[in-house]
Amino acid sequence: MTYVGMPTPKETPQETMAKIAGSAKGMKVVIVGGGVSGLSAGWWLARSGAEVTVLDKGIVGWEASGRNGGGASHYQSPLFEEEQRMWPHMDALLGYPTEHQQERLVIAVSPKQLNQYHYLAKMNNDMGYRVDLLDGDQVRSMVPLAGDNCLGGMHYRFGGHANPQRSVQAYAWALQDLGGRIYQHSPVTGFETVGGKVTAVHATSGRHECDAVVVAAGPQIQALMAKLGVEVPLAAARAEMIVTEPAPMMPIGGVDGNGLYGRQTLRGNLAYGGGPHEWLETFEAGPPARPSSPLTRNLARRVAELFPKAAHLNVIRSWAGIVENTPDGRPIIDRMKDPENVTVITMSGVGFGLSPASGHAVRDLVVDGACSFTDIAKISLSRFDGIGADWREQRGWQAPKAA
């Protein structure tokens, strides 16, 4: 495997899997939340020999994990190089298709966007991650759906995208192949603690004994961790996406820009989302409804601006769901001191692409007590110690009041 635009890893993913095999044999781990972060953590732990149980209040991968832009190019994360090391190998390691494709393009339809992309390209190249600048004609040769309004762009020679629905299926099936158990429609109702450790998790599916717990329940993390006396500051927001009729296939299916993120599916559909996101209240059982909003019309307009030669396509589906956000917009991956066998992971809206790396980090925290491949101190929960109870109000992150 050649890593274009990235440093060559010191170890192959296959060598990593051989190294961790059996390291957690006999350990019982309960994972609360069957989104992509929880499923990846479960898969990594099962590869280590742990007995893994996943509890989800609904259907695994049914929330934002299975319906997102599918991008995997998070160069500003401490997990980035592990993300890039793992994704090209995930189909082989999982044994099921994720539809991963390498490289991405970001194209500009305004001078402001073009200036921003030039800045980002320089920043990446300075970090050693190759990005090529493109003029308008070069973009149009690579993106046949782009129009005369395209001023240029940049070509990430790293990164890529995958199919979110296929990927969460792959994680779930691979976890079950390793003996993991998945309980759907099984919301967690409480925890048993003895001597500063959680010894069992109660859910509608029954009582599940454990040696360790991973809480990866997205917007429900705050309420669940409160049951353990741990405050996790999160704010929920509505995220929306649209899907068009199929378009002619582009050479590179991952094309962002104009405030949008997304990809072209292997069938040709354009699946795109973007802000602004609406702040919402959420509840332990999840949101009572997920209605789309007038934002879908704004998304459709911006997709037509990004791809003028696809402007005639009809929008055939839309989706509105809930993503959780930390006060600084960065993930939290941390093992608690009390209860000492609980690890929490919230990815603050970037969970899908980073999932191969975040699962590895969680596995390391649960089994070894520290992350083996990067420094994750900057995404620990402790950075929010002392945050005021009114932090959402101070940022204006409040749900609209009902009329």
Please write the tens of the pLDDT for every residue from 175-230.
Answer: 999 999 999 999 999 999 999 999 999 999 999 999 999 999 999 999 999 999 99
Which residues of the chain, if any, have pLDDT below 70? 1-7, 287-290, 402-403
C-alpha to C-alpha distance for 74 and 265, rounded to whole angstroms = 20
The answer to whether 254 touches 103, Cβ cutoff 8 Å, is yes
The pLDDT assigned to 277 comes to: 82
State pTM to two decimals. 0.95
Count of C-beta atoms within a 10 Å radius of residue 227: 14
pLDDT, position 67: 81
State how far the Cα of 152 lies from the Cα of 361, in Å rounded to an integer: 37
Cis, peptide link before residue 276, omega less than 30° from 0: yes
Task: Specify whether the CB–CB gap between 52 and 175 falls below 8 A.
Answer: yes
What is the pLDDT, as a whole number, of residue 403? Answer: 40
Q: Would you state the pLDDT for residue 4?
A: 59
Alpha helices in 67-108 (DSSP H): 80-86, 90-94
CB 54 within 8 A of CB 237: no
Q: Round to whole Å and give the CA distance between 194 and 186.
A: 23
- The three-class DSSP label of residue 307 is coil
30 alpha carbon, distance to own chain's centre = 20
- For tokens 């499923």, name the residue: 39
pLDDT at 402: 53
Domains in the chain and their CATH numbers? 23-98+164-232+328-385 (3.50.50.60), 101-161+235-325 (3.30.9.10)
Q: How far apart (Å, rounded) are the C-alpha atoms in residues 50 and 62? A: 25
Rounded CA-CA distance 339/326 in Å is 21
**Whole-angstrom Cα distance, residue 365 to residue 344?**
10
Q: What is the DSSP string of 370-392?
A: S-SSS--GGGSGGGGTT--TTHH
First to last CA, the chain: 57
